[in-house]
Amino acid sequence: MNFALRALLEVQETALLAARAARRLFRRPAYIGEMIQQMDVIGVGSLTIILLTGFFTGGVLALQSYPTLKYYGAQDQIGQLVSTSLVRELGPVLAGLMIAGRVGSAIAAELGSMVVSQQIDAMRALGTDPVRKLVAPRLVALATMLPLLTLMADAVGIGGGWIVSTQLYNISSSAFSASAWQGLDTNDIIGGFIKSMAFALIIGVLSCRQGLSTEGGTVGVGRSTTTAVVASSIVVIIADFFITKALQVILGTT
Amino acid sequence: MSSADVEEREGEPQGLVHGGVSEAAAESTFHEVDDRERITPAIEFRDVTLSFDDRVVLDRMSFKVRKGETKIILGGSGGGKSTTIKLILGLLKPDEGRILVDGEDITDYTEAEMMSVRKKIGMVFQEGALFDSLSVYDNVAYRLHEQGVPEEEVEQEVRRMLRFVDLEDAVDKMPIELSGGMRRRVGIARALVGGPKIVLFDEPTAGLDPPTARTICELAIKLRDLEDVSSIFVTHEMNNVKYLTSEYAVVNDDGEIVFEDEGQRLCLINTKVLMLRGGKIIFEGTDESLHKCEDQYIQRFIRGH
């Protein structure tokens, strides 16, 4: 089978898995407990890395852009630059990439190990659909938690920018806040939410697909984990471009 | 055979007849004592063929497992043994041929339709395939929890099953804390929850020490002789064949389960051997005829060199 055909087959299988998971979401049993557990693992478990990433990204944004803004005499606009960049772009993308690394790898490794130790076969033999029991709750948990994590990354990032601007560049706190609020509107926040939900589904579906298609023992688990992280990260970045363009058209966020 | 004869044998374990009876007579006895429903095979393969890419894994395979019968599927690695079991569970689909479970043609069943068929079947995996994140209790209770059975009933059933495999003390342990043999036994307990009438064993003794392997075989014998379970026992170890074809389980006067050698009081007619090589059946019959078979591969397999 050549590369193009294999890639096409992979896209088809991934799309089918997503469709099956979506259909099974509305059938009983709903595995609410499993969803809450996954929300805890994905959401609470990733909080520290997301907050750290957000805070230092906001800080470095202020650090890097202040000299340029000062050159044009627009240093008071630093709040707007930090908030708009974070809410529209950096927050969703960086949170997505961090989650792809932390959660995507964990999902692929866990499901892959279950495949090679025949636990998935055992689950099917015991009358449980693995897509409903394992895939659907992870997708729901990701789609719920990633937007919330992104929101926190945005908030903490703006905080990081505020600290750098006020402590290192003597921008007044009120000027930073006024500029930050002025630069944002509802559509930016909605756009950020839509992006992070889309990234969550991309990471979830790709990681589950890689995990469930694991072959070749423990070496195969390692391969699936790497592929899940690499593929999720790349697709998130590519999808970001197209979603941004679509949102500009639909929401008018230019 | 008269009805008096039937009544006389009602107290005996199913599928066992008194020594001295010819195999043909025993076969007919086996059929006549049972009602019409028992004539329907528990499992039937009709010309089943399966290929992975260009490699033929099963080639026009046909066989039946009767109700209450144990079929030992013997063969070397890559012979198609485990594939056969996966086909019965619908984990794989054949390219050609039909597969019947309890008279029901499951060949074209969807995944959703297979779920109800799988409830009739217990499956014991090679390494136990226990869920790592669940305790022994939750592993054994898995099927019942999925069905929403009240916890009180679940606990009773789990303890009964763990008693059956002699592992009641391990109820709160995690799979990681168990030895290989214990994992297999928990796997057997999990497979037996819900009282399936068909149990599939996929190399359950692979990699175990001989006494533990014997314990696993004894569990299979107990299921066959005391629970009237039809089973497929996939293995490549001749020791397993010896245990399963030469011993039977009975309940003695004190109510204890004891194992006796074939010929002491009864002879076994409900355990057959089927040998696979390269996806084809090269032998089907009793263990006695297997040992008499002149095929060089079979002789080498039996001798182990």
Residue appearing with tokens 């804390």: B177
CB atoms under 10 Å from CB of B110, counted, come to: 8
Residue appearing with tokens 């866990």: A110
pLDDT in tens, A225-246: 999 999 999 999 999 999 999 9
Distance CA B204, CA B210 (A): 12
pLDDT in tens, A161-205: 999 999 999 899 999 999 999 888 888 999 999 999 999 999 999
Q: What is the pLDDT of residue B240?
A: 86
pLDDT band at B252 (very low <50, low <70, confident <90, very high): confident
A218 to chain B, any CB pair closer than 8 A? The answer is no
Residue appearing with tokens 């006796």: B260
Q: What is the pLDDT of residue B294?
A: 83
In angstroms, the Cα distances linking A92 to A65, A97, A143, A191, A236 are 20, 9, 12, 9, 10
pLDDT band at B16 (very low <50, low <70, confident <90, very high): very low
Q: What is the pLDDT of residue B116?
A: 83
Residue B115: its chain A contacts at CB < 8 A? 127, 129
Query: Which tokens go with A36?
Result: 């809450």
A124 to chain B, any CB pair closer than 8 A? The answer is yes
Q: Which residue of B has its CA nearest to A117?
A: B129
In angstroms, the Cα distances linking B254 to B32, B115, B217, B250, B251 are 30, 41, 23, 11, 8
Where along chain B do the CATH 3.40.50.300 domains lie? Answer: 3-120+196-303
Question: To 5 degrees, how large is the angle CA A200–CA A206–CA A209?
Answer: 135
B134 to chain A, any CB pair closer than 8 A? The answer is no
pLDDT of B22 > 60? The answer is no
ipTM of the assembly? 0.78
Q: Which residues contact residue A227 at a Cβ distance below 8 angstroms, ignoring those fewer than 6 apart?
A: A108, A210
Q: Quick one: average pLDDT of A145-167?
A: 95
Q: Quick one: average pLDDT of B218-240?
A: 88
Interface of A with B in 53-92 (CB under 8 A): none
Residue A125: its chain B contacts at CB < 8 A? 89, 91, 118, 121, 123
Q: Best mutation site among B53, B145, B146 for testing chain A: the one with the most A CBs within 10 Å? A: B146
In angstroms, the Cα distances linking A50 to A163, A238, B98 are 18, 21, 54
Interface of A with B in 8-37 (CB under 8 A): 29
Considering only CB atoms, B129 lies closest to which of A29, A118, A127, namely: A118
Considering only CB atoms, B118 lies closest to which of A113, A117, A125, namely: A125
Distance CA B64, CA B112 (A): 25
The sheet with strand B198-202 has its strands ordered as: B121-124, B198-202, B230-235, B70-75, B271-277, B280-285
Distance CA B119, CA B115 (A): 7
List the CATH code of the domain at B3-120+196-303.
3.40.50.300
Nearest-CA neighbor of A33 among B153, B138, B177, B174?
B138
CB contact under 8 A, A121 and B129: yes
Q: Which residue of B has its CA nearest to A29?
A: B146
pLDDT in tens, A32-63: 888 999 999 999 999 999 999 999 999 999 99
Distance CA A202, CA B132 (A): 27
Contact B251, B32 (CB under 8 A): no
pLDDT of B287 > 90? The answer is no
Distance CA B188, CA B229 (A): 13
Contact B62, B48 (CB under 8 A): yes
Query: Which tokens go with B252?
Result: 């003695």
Q: What is the pLDDT of residue A197?
A: 95
B21 to chain A, any CB pair closer than 8 A? The answer is no
Q: What is the pLDDT of residue B34?
A: 53
pLDDT of B200 > 60? The answer is yes
Q: Best mutation site among B110, B142, B158 for testing chain A: the one with the most A CBs within 10 Å? A: B142
Considering only CB atoms, B129 lies closest to which of A29, A117, A127, namely: A117
pLDDT of B35 > 90? The answer is no
pLDDT in tens, A76-135: 899 999 999 999 999 999 999 999 999 999 999 999 999 999 999 999 988 888 998 999
Residue B130: its chain A contacts at CB < 8 A? 119, 122
Q: What is the pLDDT of residue B267?
A: 67
Domain boundaries, chain A: 30-251
CB atoms under 10 Å from CB of A52, counted, come to: 14
